[in-house]
Amino acid sequence: MGVMAEHRVGTREEYDAAREELLKEEKELTRRGDDLARKRRELPWVPVEKEYTFDTSEGTKTLADLFEGRSQLLVYHFMFGPPYEAGCPVCSSIADTLDPQVVHLKDRDTTLLLASRAPLKKLLAFRERMGWGIDWVSSNGSDFNRDLGFLHTEDELKPFLEGEIPPTVEQNARMCGTDAGGYVSEGPGLSVYALSDGTVYRTYVTTARGLEPAMAYYGLLDRTPKGRDESATAPLWVRRHDEYV
Amino acid sequence: MGEHGIGTREEWQAARDELAKLEAEHADRNEKIKEKRRALPWVRVEKEYEFDTEDGKKTLAELFDGRSQLLAYTIMFGPDYTKGACPGCTSLGDGLDGSLVHLNHRDVTLLCFSRAPIERLTAYKERMGWEFPYVSTYNTEFPFDFELALTEEQAQHIPEIKEMVEDPPDWLVEWSHQIGAELKDGLREGPTWIAFAREDETVYHTYTVGAPDPFVAPYFSFLLDCTPKPQPEEPRTFRKDEYPD
């Protein structure tokens, strides 16, 4: 156990004093987090003019249909492109946390679902393997992902693919049964919509670092003595929940 | 639906870019806090505790289950609660299983504590379909030593609690019905995260955090922070199998 991060052992009084100081900063962070949520709500709403259609287990649906009678819609853009044989492992770990939230969000007038570009049949088979109940729709055949910036063309990816490919990308691509180019053509993201008087508005979109809170295990690790304890060079440790050895 | 304007995609993008700067600043601030958290002194746990678990009696060291870190949430479920745990804590619990396997592979044992006897915790866990270990601190000094619960006498001397018991807001009256306990007893449990480290045979307390840190809120509150509609100040919370249709 010599791997434990450097730490000092102290008395309860020493801990309490240091904790008190830290608590002030944590409270300030909480206050700022509340400010950010308020600022997100002040963003202008953009009417979604284009008609997007989705393949769902209940047939073809429009974006407005996906609200299922509620006034807010959260879409997690799960990296699962048409050539993938299985969903992205990191997106899978995110879905592990999203799945049990669906029932609670419904009560807050909010529908949460997953969207990917792979054909619906592939998505549903993978969902069954993972044991999730969350709705998953295929945006295959519409510009939904592209218009949000979550689908990249070969041209756009060229500079990235010509550079040194990060080991995590290589690893995840292999785990998805595709190559680096195929893997990163899909982008992860969260997009948020409001439905008001029959019009759908896009209100918020986030990706990359903005998705970190969606990885609930990171939030938990951040409160443990070792923290995330990740290496800058080794590929990411995250696996699909049925693939850890 | 709150204060917002309707805008063009360009207007939205400009406002979003400004907000992204603040979000990045927030994430940087959080990084610094995480460093300070890991720098807190560890405090050796001298006392021997013995807990009731689903697998019989266990010491604190045994709860680590062979790992070197223990992260535990205290679900408000005191011995006086006749109808089950606090519904808010229960929704937080719903989000933990999604992280369980991931944390277990990062040398972290994740579990929940409550003060009600083990038989009641086990029955409640089964009702909720949870997987994480649920440990009873019934008849131990552990929750009082680590400020996870208040003694009757302590509770009587805290003005905020006295006020809530004597003049409770409507939601708290309803909450008291949901747990099936009087507020003077119900409010003695503290929804709290606590972390420990184990090195060789020594256990150290490393961190405790309670409300109003957002870490003590159910996971879906992070998702609601991204939605356009403001949330009520004191939203009613329900157990997932008790939502009114």
Distance CA A194, CA A214 (A): 20
pLDDT in tens, A77-88: 999 999 999 999
Q: Taking CB atoms and an 8 Å limit, are B23 and A41 in contact across chains?
A: no
pLDDT in tens, A194-221: 999 999 999 999 998 899 889 999 999 9
Outline where chain A has alpha helix (H). Answer: 12-42, 63-66, 89-98, 102-106, 120-130, 144-148, 154-162, 167-175, 180-184, 216-221
Chain B neighbours among A 174-233 (CB < 8 Å)? 190, 192, 194, 196, 201-206, 209-210, 212-214, 216-217, 219-227, 229
For chain B, what is the largest distance between any 2 Cα atoms, rounded to a whole number of angstroms? 63
**CA R_g for chain A:** 20
Residue given tokens 């180019």 in the structure block: A181
The alpha-carbon gap from A202 to the nearest alpha carbon of chain B, in Å, equals 9
DSSP string, B23-63: HHHHHHHHHHHHHHHHTSPEEE--S--EEEETTEEEEHHHH
Task: For domain B45-224, give its CATH number from 3.40.30.10, 3.40.1350.10, 3.90.1170.50, 3.10.310.40.
Answer: 3.40.30.10
pLDDT in tens, B175-217: 999 999 999 999 999 999 999 999 988 999 999 999 889 899 9
Residue B237 vs residues B147, B187, B245: alpha-carbon distances, Å: 25, 16, 14
The alpha-carbon gap from B168 to the nearest alpha carbon of chain A, in Å, equals 24
Chain A neighbours among B 24-53 (CB < 8 Å)? 24, 26-27, 29-30, 32-34, 36-44
Question: Cβ of B173 under 8 Å from any chain A Cβ?
Answer: no
Of A35, A96, A203, the CB nearest to B228: A203
- What mean pLDDT comes out for the span A22-38? 96
Mutation for B interface: A99, A224, A245, most B CBs within 10 A: A224
Distance CA B185, CA B174 (A): 15
Q: Read off the pTM.
A: 0.95
* Chain A contact set for B11 (CB, 8 A): 44, 46
Write down the domain spans for chain A: 46-151+186-221
Residue given tokens 């998953």 in the structure block: A136
Answer whether residue A223 shows pLDDT above 80: yes
Tell me yes or no: is domain A46-151+186-221 CATH 3.40.50.720: no
